[in-house]
């Protein structure tokens, strides 16, 4: 099939790459000329394992091309995906300016029946607005259908998630559009849910909010476990083996971040409010998340007391491993607070330091974890990269000024750390 993807962020670029890899002809559109030039040169603007290879392979086979022109993309395609960002406004609601502008430009360039698919995460009822917009700005005789097809891929494992989805959600009132999308995704062999647009849009917000709720639940448990002398990992494992609960997304730590959960939970709270429902459960999820980083900061202060003039080594800046993404990374909040207390910071992250430099000034960026540890009063773990799990801890101990590790991601076994002679603090464990 001929597919156009508008927006080359994580979702758009990965979707475009994977659809091209499945044999479709894909045209990716972005209004950022620099990004399009980079992609044409074979460079990938984001770090996502496996993405560069797929793009290179599909480009060589002429299955994917790039343009800044929506008109060109729409005219060349049967299915047009909207995958532009929907950032949070200061009041927490989703900013749909880009979706609206794209819908209008798509409408102005419709030259025959097309299926317009919304892949951006949007509040319920956006599909209706997109359809209204397209009707308003397109030629009267032209036919089109609108579909909501939310995306569930995770950064860092986006390619795997796209090829092995747990489910594919297709929200539309049109049987013809539902059939076309089912055919498009047929090679993936995943359960397909065909539903109305509003339900599809809610499925996305509800899924992310529920996962965030699991994380906040685990973080609340970590607080109780610390007070009770219990181990949160044992507790969540014991709970999670009940298949009705499940073991995933129950890792306590320093709270969720990234470009999705914080934005989507607050957008869901906001849209619920607009619909006349006060989603207090989710407000509490957000509060627990904010508190978790305060609690970790206090843990550092309790361990090290006065921070003024102390050098701290930080391992991990990205909001999670296998990505270079710094959006809403808990490290940003924590490092800001440590700097305000007068600490000096030596930091290392395997992928995100270029992006971190744009946001975090006044810290020293290191070339490996050992350099971050050298001469530091303590080592603080903020992202659970495998590289940190596999470090030579004896060497780290020798490099640190004091053998103190404060671990926000529970990556080491507390008993082993004690055996090695570390003062070791983690989250919800003893
Ligand atoms: C999330 C969802 O998992 C995807 O299904 C969804 O498609 C995506 O948002 C989106 O809406 O685009 P992502 O933000 O890439 O994906 O990352 P996650 O792996 O979900 O992690 C989110 C945050 O939760 C990270 O800060 C991570 O450290 C934290 N987390 C995750 C925990 O603190 N504990 C856990 O047990 C799991």
CA neighbor of 316 nearest in space, from 296, 301, 291, 298: 296
Q: How far apart are CA 43 and CA 37, in angstroms?
A: 9
Beta bridge partners of 423: 404
120: confidence class by pLDDT, cuts 50, 70, 90: very high
Q: Which atom of ligand 1 is nearest to the CA of 325?
A: 15
| Cα–Cα distance measured from residue 256 to residue 5, given in angstroms and rounded to the nearest whole number | 29
Confidence (pLDDT) at 106 = 98
Which distant-in-sequence residues (6+ apart) come within 8 Å of 219 by Cβ? 252, 253, 255, 288, 289, 292, 427
The answer to whether 206 and 268 are in contact (CB under 8 A) is yes
Q: For residue 312, what are the β-bridge partners?
A: 345, 378
Tell whether ligand 1 has an atom less than 6 A from the beta carbon of residue 372: no
pLDDT digits (tens, 9 = 90+) for 287-306: 999 999 999 999 999 999 99
Q: What pLDDT is stored for residue 264 in this prediction?
A: 95
Sign of the dihedral through C-alpha 266, 357, 38, 52? negative
When the pLDDT of each residue in the chain is averaged and rounded to a whole number, the result is 97
CA nearest to 49, candidates 369, 320, 408 = 320
Average pLDDT over residues 34-38: 96
Among candidates 266, 225, 233, which has minimal Cα distance to 251? 233
Which residues neighbour 291 within 8 Å (Cβ) at sequence distance 6 or greater?
Answer: none
If phi > 0 it is left, if psi is from -120 to 50 it is alpha, else beta; for residue 124 that is beta
pLDDT computed for residue 56 by the predictor = 96
Confidence of residue 214 (pLDDT cuts 50, 70, 90): very high
pLDDT at 129: 97
Q: Which helix (H) or strand (E) holds 234?
A: helix 232-240
In residues, how long is the chain? 430
Beta carbons within 8 Å of 400's beta carbon, 6+ residues apart: 313, 373, 374, 375, 376, 377, 378, 379
What distance lies between CA 298 and its chain's CA centroid?
A: 27
Max distance between CA atoms of the chain, in angstroms, equals 76
Q: Which atom of ligand 1 is nearest to the CA of 204?
A: 11
Ligand 1 centroid–CA 228 distance in Å is: 28
| CB of 297 closer than 6 angstroms to any ligand 1 atom | no
Please provide the DSSP assignment of 31-50 as one string. Answer: S-HHHHHHHHTT--SS--TT
> How confident is the model over 301-325, as pLDDT tens digits?
999 999 999 999 999 999 999 999 9
Q: What is the mean pLDDT of residues 134-142?
A: 94
- From the list 353, 322, 321, 347, the residue with the least C-alpha distance to 334 is 347
CB 14 less than 6 A from any atom of ligand 1: no
Q: What is the distance between the alpha carbons of residues 357 and 347, in angstroms, rounded to a whole number? A: 11
Cβ of 316 below 6 Å from ligand 1: no
In whole angstroms, what is the distance from residue 268 CA to residue 261 CA? 10
Residue nearest to atom 2 of ligand 1 (CA): 154
- The pLDDT-based confidence of 345 (bands split at 50, 70, 90) is very high
- Per-residue pLDDT, averaged over 133-156, amounts to 95
Helix axes 280-304, 197-228, angle to 10 degrees: 40
The number of angstroms, rounded, from the C-alpha of 195 to the middle of its chain's C-alpha atoms is 25
Q: Express each pLDDT in 162-207 by its tens digit.
A: 999 999 999 999 999 999 999 999 999 899 999 999 999 999 999 9
The whole-number pLDDT of residue 83 equals 98
Mutual angle of helices 197-228 and 261-274, in 10-degree steps: 120
18 in active site: no
Domains of the chain by range and CATH? Answer: 2-195 (3.40.50.720), 286-425 (3.40.50.720)
CA of 260 to the centre of ligand 1 (A): 7
The predicted structure's pLDDT at residue 123: 94
The pLDDT, as a whole number, for residue 391 is 97
Average pLDDT over residues 212-218: 98
Predicted local distance difference test score (pLDDT) of residue 17: 98
Catalytic residue among 28, 58, 260, 366: 260
Please state, in angstroms and rounded to a whole number, the distance separating the CA atoms of residues 233 and 364: 33
The pLDDT-based confidence of 58 (bands split at 50, 70, 90) is very high
Could you tell me how far CA 165 lies from the centroid of its own chain? 16
What is the Cα Rg of the chain in Å? Answer: 23
Residue whose C-alpha is closest to residue 328's, from 406, 260, 408: 260
**Which tens digit of pLDDT belongs to each residue from 383-428?**
999 999 999 999 999 999 999 999 999 999 999 999 999 999 999 9
As a whole number, mean pLDDT of residues 367-389 equals 98
Q: What is the DSSP string of 283-327?
A: HHHHHHHHHHHHHHHHHHHHHH---TT-EEEEE--SSSTT----T
Percent of the chain exceeding pLDDT 90 equals 99
User: What pLDDT is stored for residue 174 in this prediction?
Assistant: 98
261 lines ligand 1 (CB under 6 A): yes
Predicted structure pTM score: 0.96
Task: Determine if ligand 1 sits within 6 Å of the CB of residue 9.
Answer: no
Q: Which atom of ligand 1 is nearest to the CA of 11?
A: 12
Question: Do the Cβ atoms of 106 and 80 come closer than 8 Å?
Answer: yes
């Amino acid at each position: 099939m001929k597919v156009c993807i508008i927006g080359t962020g994580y979702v758009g670029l990965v979707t475009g790459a994977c659809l091209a890899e499945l044999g479709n002809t894909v045209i990716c559109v972005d209004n950022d000329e620099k990004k399009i030039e980079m992609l044409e040169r074979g460079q990938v603007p984001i770090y996502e394992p496996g993405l560069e290879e797929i793009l290179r392979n599909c480009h060589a086979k002429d299955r994917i091309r790039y343009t800044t022109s929506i008109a060109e993309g729409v005219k060349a395609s049967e299915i047009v995906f909207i995958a532009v960002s929907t950032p949070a406004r200061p009041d927490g609601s989703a900013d749909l300016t880009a979706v609206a502008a794209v819908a209008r430009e798509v409408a102005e360039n419709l030259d025959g029946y097309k299926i317009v698919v919304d892949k951006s995460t949007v509040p319920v009822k956006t599909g209706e607005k997109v359809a209204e917009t397209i009707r308003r700005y397109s030629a009267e005789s032209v036919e089109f259908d609108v579909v909501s097809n939310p995306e569930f891929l995770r950064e860092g494992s986006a390619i795997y998630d796209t090829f092995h989805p747990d489910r594919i959600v297709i929200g539309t009132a049109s049987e013809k559009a539902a059939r076309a999308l089912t055919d498009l995704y047929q090679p993936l062999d995943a359960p397909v849910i065909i539903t109305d647009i509003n339900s599809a849009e809610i499925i996305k917000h509800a899924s992310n909010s529920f996962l965030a709720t699991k994380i906040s639940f685990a973080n609340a448990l970590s607080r109780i476990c610390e007070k009770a002398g219990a181990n949160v990992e044992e507790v969540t494992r014991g709970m999670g083996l009940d298949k009705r609960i499940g073991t995933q997304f129950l890792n306590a730590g320093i709270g969720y971040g990234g470009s999705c959960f914080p934005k989507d939970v607050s957008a869901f709270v906001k849209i619920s409010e607009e619909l006349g429902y006060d989603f207090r459960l989710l407000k509490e999820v957000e509060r627990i998340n904010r508190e978790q980083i305060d609690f970790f900061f206090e843990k550092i202060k309790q361990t090290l007391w006065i921070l003024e003039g102390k050098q701290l080594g930080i391992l991990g800046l990205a909001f999670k491993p296998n990505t270079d993404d710094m959006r809403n990374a808990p490290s940003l909040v924590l490092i800001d607070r440590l700097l305000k207390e007068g600490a000096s910071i030596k930091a290392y992250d395997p992928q995100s330091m270029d992006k971190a430099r744009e946001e975090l000034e006044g810290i020293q960026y290191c070339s490996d974890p050992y350099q971050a540890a050298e001469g530091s009063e303590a080592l603080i773990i903020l992202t659970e990269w495998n590289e940190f799990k596999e470090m030579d801890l004896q060497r780290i101990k020798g490099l640190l000024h004091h053998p103190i590790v404060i671990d926000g991601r529970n990556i080491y076994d507390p008993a082993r750390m004690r055996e090695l002679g570390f003062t070791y603090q983690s989250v919800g464990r003893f």
